[in-house]
Structure 1
Amino acid sequence: MRATIRDVAKQAGVSIATVSKVFNGYTDINLETKDKILKIAKELDYAPNMAARTLSSKKQQTIALILNELNFTRKSTMPMEVLDGVYKYTEKSDYEFVFYATSTEKQLSKTFRQFCNEHNITGAVIQGLKMTDPYYQEIEETSLPTVLVDMSVKNPKVGTVSIDNQKAAFEAVNYLIEQGHESIGMINGSRDADVSILRETGYCQALKENAIPLKESYIQYANFEEDISYFITKNLLTTNKEITALFCASDVMAIGAMRAVKDMGIKVPEDLSIIGFDDIILASYVTPELTSVSQDMREIGFEAAKLLTEIIDGDDQNNNRRIAHEIKHRQSVAPKK
């Protein structure tokens, strides 16, 4: 027969209410009693009913990580790194952690508020939204504790955690310019992604500050996909043979570009320098090794969860967090001939 909360209370010599408080995260139970109850519960193989626990406890608080258009591949583990960071923080806290994947289609069937209410979500960390997504528009006005990864909205109640994408892109392109490159193409992600807009702004800023004319035809969009980048790079370099360097807004697109130039008989970095963004694991294993802007997605996930709990607790003095980035110098960039 399955052990009940009454069995745990009887063996521990405490009231049912005391056992309930321990499993619902109350802090007014002394450590010795708490440890005793948890030990007995383990011996009896007792687990609280989560549905009843949520209904009976006003203290129950749940943090959700919501990933939009989840795209986890062997080449890019970034979503899982964010998940790991959020989980690592909640593991050390009194908050429950849940994970959900969504899509633009799912958002059309249920509002952000409805979704969170149905799943008893106290606050949410969200990654991967596009500016055209229904949830993005709702979050601009939401009062639910929310933290966005790699994007921002005009809502002072919503937190954001990311690197300084504009500055990082500026530094990457400026590094290419320091190597003597002036004809620099850009393989960008999506026109409606916040990070794409910021990275393109940084690209344009670097050209402007170095008095290099901006050519709109040099900027192409590959939707953060390797195969699209492959074909776009071929077309870009065929029609603009003067290009000597490429700034790619993700490593996955940079890898697609490297495949393309190899098939075209162009050598990296002798004929063309390429710099990526994200510093995924594969960046160190492709040939030549890919120079890339490094960002720690686990730290970003950890800080996003931390910021969310601060917002939930009412400490919302600084809702915008910046995580450090750096350029990992490898073999794919060389001085212009």
Structure 2
Amino acid sequence: MVTIKDIARESGYSVSTVSRVLNNRRDVSPVAKKKIEQVVADYNFVPNNNAKHLKQMGSKTVVILVKGNGNMLFANIVEEIQCMVQRTQYTPVVTYLDESEDEVQHAIRISRERKPMGILFLGGAPDNFKREFDQVGIPSVLVTNQGKNFGVENLASVATDDVAAAECAVDYLFTKGHKKIGIIGGDLSFSYTSRQRYKGCIQSFEKHKMVFDELHNYSDARFSFEGAYQAMVNLMEKKPDLTAVFAMSDVMAIGAARALKDMGKRVPEDISVIGFDGITLADYYNPKLSTIRQQYKLLARRSVEMLFHMVDFADDPIHEVIPFELVTGESVRTI
């Protein structure tokens, strides 16, 4: 019996491309479509309609669970994902959660009520996945956090190495002569991303033979302008002789810079600031923000590709780490 793999081999195209043609998807070139349809006709190939029917019993939706309402990087990724999914037979459905909520509990409920084809998680906590993810039962991809060591099935991941990237940011401050460095990040008790980036900060301090005083040099906040503004005020009260600050997101960095300005401090003349994410606003902020740039378009594209391969071809989940870039900007000076 002729299979889809036989059609792929004879046509010279991948199984995924053949499947898209058979499902009348639009994301196939006219040349490929014509060639594959000719091979299908030559072999009198008939798709397995029973399997197709079973797949279609679920809804044609892909759920995007976004953890946090003020994350501008996530906003960029969501926009890219929506554009990609809308070009297929599936419909994207976006749900926003508070950064302290349990994303896996929401996924369990959504998978039972809406029966989506798959779920894309933007942000997530390992403990939630390890404890409950086996109840989700559909292909999923964790975006911007690494899930390789979560020990769960049906979960792929694509992310920046948060530890290495944060270490790079603090290294940059040290190379500019700074030693009195403060850090603004999330609540380390529940924010996995903050814990990973904090780990990178500590590695940088240790590399430079410096001891980090968490009590006086770390201030936690929500990932928002307002939260970071107050965190910067608190940090200056605890450590008024700071010369530089690493904020764990660009939104936090901009909120911190505004607080410094309102306190009569200049960036970078009095205090240097470096952020994380590389959002568009960072390029237009004054001064142009020094930051760690994540490749949000690549993160979005790979997450969708991974999910569709798991949904359409039952591929095993894979885990990828996407390179980051240090953007020197204008908000860090040499001392």
Match of 2:82 among 81, 87, 94: 87
Indicate yes or no: 2:134 matched with 1:154: no
Residue 247 of structure 1 deviates from its aligned partner by: 0.4
Alpha-carbon distance, 1:321 to partner: 1.1
Please tell me whether the aligned partners of residues 63 and 125 of structure 1 are also in contact (alpha carbons under 8 angstroms). Answer: no
Q: Which structure would you say has the larger Rg? A: 1
User: Is the 2:86–2:92 contact (alpha carbons within 8 Å) kept by the matching residues of 1?
Assistant: no
Q: Residue in 2 aligned with 1:212?
A: 210
Which of the numbers 62, 65, 73 marks the counterpart of 1:64? 62
The alpha carbon displacement at 1:112 in A equals 3.1
Q: Give the Å deviation of 1:311.
A: 2.5
Which of 229-238 and 62-71 deviates more?
62-71
Query: Does residue 234 of structure 2 align to residue 235 of structure 1?
Result: yes
Distance in structure 2 (CA, Å) of the matches to 1:174 and 1:204: 10
Question: Which AA in structure 2 matches 1:183?
Answer: K
Deviation at 1:202, TM superposition (A): 0.5
Structure 2 match to 1:121: 116
CA contact (8 A) 1:188 1:196 kept: yes
Pairwise mapping of residues 160-309 of structure 1 onto structure 2 (< 5 A)?
Answer: 160-191=157-188, 192-217=190-215, 218-309=217-308
Identity rate of aligned residues, in percent? 27
CA RMSD between the two structures: 3.3
Q: Which amino acid is the alignment partner of residue 302 of structure 1?
A: R
Supply the AA of the counterpart residue of 1:58.
L
Equivalent AA in structure 2 for residue 184 of structure 1: I
**Equivalent in the alignment of 1:52:** none
**Is the CA contact (8 Å cut-off) linking 1:82 and 1:300 kept in structure 2?**
yes
Q: Tell me the CA shift for residue 92 of structure 1.
A: 5.2
Letter in 2 for 1:332: S
Paired with 2:101 and 2:144, the residues of 1 have a C-alpha distance of: 21
Cα 1:225–1:98 change in 2 (3 A) is same
Closer/same/farther in 2, CA of residues 59 and 248 from structure 1, 3 Å limit: same
Separation in 2, partners of 1:205, 1:234: 26
In 2, Cα distance between equivalents of 1:165 and 1:221:
17
Task: Tell me, in whole angstroms, the C-alpha distance in 1 between the residues paired with 2:243 and 2:133.
Answer: 42
Q: TM-score, normalised by structure 2?
A: 0.75
**Residue range with higher mean Cα deviation, 117-126 or 246-255:** 117-126
1:133-152 alpha-carbon deviations (Å, 9 max, x no partner): 6x774226644211111223
Deviation at 1:127, TM superposition (A): 1.3
Give yes or no for contact 1:141–1:155 (8 Å, CA) kept in 2: no
Correspondent of 1:98 among 87, 92, 102 = 92
| Aligned counterparts of 2:85 and 2:263: Cα–Cα separation in 1 | 49
Distance 2:104 2:161 in 1: 34
Query: 1:63, 1:161 → 2: CA distance?
Result: 21
SS at match of 1:300: helix
Contact 1:176 1:245 in 2 (8 A): yes
- Unaligned 5+ residue runs, structure 1? 1-21, 36-55
Task: Look up the match of 1:45.
Answer: none
Structure 1 position 106, deviation (Å): 9.0
Q: Paired residues, what number?
A: 288
